[in-house]
Amino acid sequence: MVQIRKSSLASVLLAAGCACACQQPATPTAAAKPAQALTNAAQGRVADNTVVATWDGGKMTYGELMAKRASQFKKLRNKQAQEQYQAEQAELGQMIAEDLVTKAATAKGLTPEVFMQQQMGDLSVSETEINDFYAKNTAQIGAPLEVIRPQLRTHLEQQKVGQAQNRVIGDLMKASNVKFDVPAPATEKAELAIAGRPTKGKPDAKVTVAVFSDFQCPFCSRAAPSAESLVAAFPNDVKVVFFNFPLNFHPMAMPSAIAASCAAEQGKFWEYHDTLFKRQSELSPELMDTVGKDLGLDLAKFAACRANPATQKKVQDDMSQGEAAGVEGTPSFFINGSHYPNGVPTVEALKPYVQG
């Protein structure tokens, strides 16, 4: 049977209605169903008054344990529900992809392996491609080209295989009108404090879309325009609230979050937000100064704000809220406090919330 890499299949499934984030976001076509209240399976298993620990002079019941560590256990339950959902979609997508490839190959009198090889085309990696990739990523690679060349070739070959599989399977799914409608998991609502956070849309909108984002995350840059499109589609009913969630492996993420927060102090958050994402490949302290100047910010106040430890504390407060809500990658979206598991919410996905 033809081996279709699940890692390369992921973006195809996302486009057809499945999910992924920095870790990988998506743009699903199928609307997720609004989450229902999640019952506490663990509490159904163990009565609250069950004594789960004793020691000299004390004891603890299961209910006390749950109450004292409520946020941690809520995060765990939501994570388990999300992992189950992603596994269901991945396995479903894998089975459909294998079926479509087998049928297409049979129609041409080929084995699935030969069919995929023919459809994917030439996957060889040239020396020029290796040299260009190294030149663009020298700082991150941190090793001489001749030492790292074999690994770079392998990396680029795997990348080409993944992209080719995406293209072939994506075309087959599109031609076969594949749509995914695995019911979204019911997750417990996060208690997000949105006051004072950058908001796009009417303050009294019935639907609140909270996004946790990282200015250096490539998936976040692709998702960034969704704020404008969602509010434009539902100007009276939807507002988008931005939370910073800079990931520690993105060195410019925290400085960018701080700079954007300082732009917000002067009423220019969304303009600054849009520009940083559009110029993500140029992120640097110099770019942050340039964007501030171009937007007409008071540069002295802007610099003082960026140097103020209180500004980083604001960003860290956003991160703490995200961690408590179970955010592990960016972008992560919450609709009225419920985690949205299908990547980037679309206009179609929000209709049940707006109409409900």
24, 19, 294: which is closest to 302 by C-alpha?
294
Between these two residues, 343 and 12, which has the higher pLDDT value? 343
Q: Is the pLDDT of residue 253 over 90?
A: yes
Confidence of residue 2 (pLDDT cuts 50, 70, 90): low
Region 228-247: mean pLDDT is 96
Q: Give me the pLDDT at residue 164, please.
A: 95
Between these two residues, 330 and 21, which has the higher pLDDT value? 330
Tens-digit pLDDT profile for residues 112-121: 999 999 999 9
Q: Which two tokens stand for residue 195?
A: 């006051």
314, 326, 63, 84: which is closest to 190 by C-alpha?
326
Q: Give me the pLDDT at residue 341, please.
A: 79
Q: Give me the pLDDT at residue 24, please.
A: 39
Confidence of residue 324 (pLDDT cuts 50, 70, 90): confident
Q: Give me the pLDDT at residue 69, please.
A: 85
Q: Give me the pLDDT at residue 191, please.
A: 86
Between these two residues, 72 and 296, which has the higher pLDDT value? 296
Confidence of residue 6 (pLDDT cuts 50, 70, 90): low
308-311 long-range contacts (CB < 8 A, ≥24 apart) are: 311/258, 311/261, 311/262
Domain positions in the chain: 1-188, 199-355
**Cα separations (Å) of 241 from 88, 181, 210, 218, 305?**
30, 27, 5, 20, 21
Q: Is the pLDDT of residue 259 over 90?
A: yes
Q: Is the pLDDT of residue 7 over 70?
A: no
The rounded distance, in Å, linking the Cα atoms of 338 and 92 is 24
Q: Is the pLDDT of residue 309 over 90?
A: yes
Q: Give me the pLDDT at residue 342, please.
A: 79
Q: Give me the pLDDT at residue 126, please.
A: 96
Q: Give me the pLDDT at residue 16, please.
A: 45
Q: Is the pLDDT of residue 276 over 90?
A: yes
Q: Is the pLDDT of residue 45 over 90?
A: no
Region 88-99: mean pLDDT is 94
Region 118-127: mean pLDDT is 96
Identify whether the C-beta of residue 241 lies closer than 8 Å to the C-beta of residue 210: yes
Q: Which two tokens stand for residue 315?
A: 């960003």
Region 299-324: mean pLDDT is 96
Share of residues in the chain with pLDDT > 70 (%): 88
The rounded distance, in Å, linking the Cα atoms of 3 and 295 is 51
Between these two residues, 54 and 181, which has the higher pLDDT value? 54
Share of residues in the chain with pLDDT > 90 (%): 70
Q: Give the residue carrying structure tokens 């479903």.
A: 92
The rounded distance, in Å, linking the Cα atoms of 72 and 165 is 39
- If you average pLDDT over each of 85-94, 133-142, 221-230, 342-351, which comes out highest? 221-230
| Phi/psi at 211 (5° precision) | -120, 130
The rounded distance, in Å, linking the Cα atoms of 280 and 252 is 10
Tens-digit pLDDT profile for residues 172-193: 999 999 998 888 777 778 889 9
Region 79-105: mean pLDDT is 91
The rounded distance, in Å, linking the Cα atoms of 200 and 191 is 19
Q: Give me the pLDDT at residue 237, please.
A: 97
Q: Give me the pLDDT at residue 246, please.
A: 97
List the single range of 44-48, 85-89, 206-210, 348-352 with lowest mean pLDDT.
44-48
CATH tag, 199-355: 3.40.30.10
User: Which pTM does this prediction carry?
Assistant: 0.61
Helix (H, G, I), strand (E, B) or coil at 44: helix
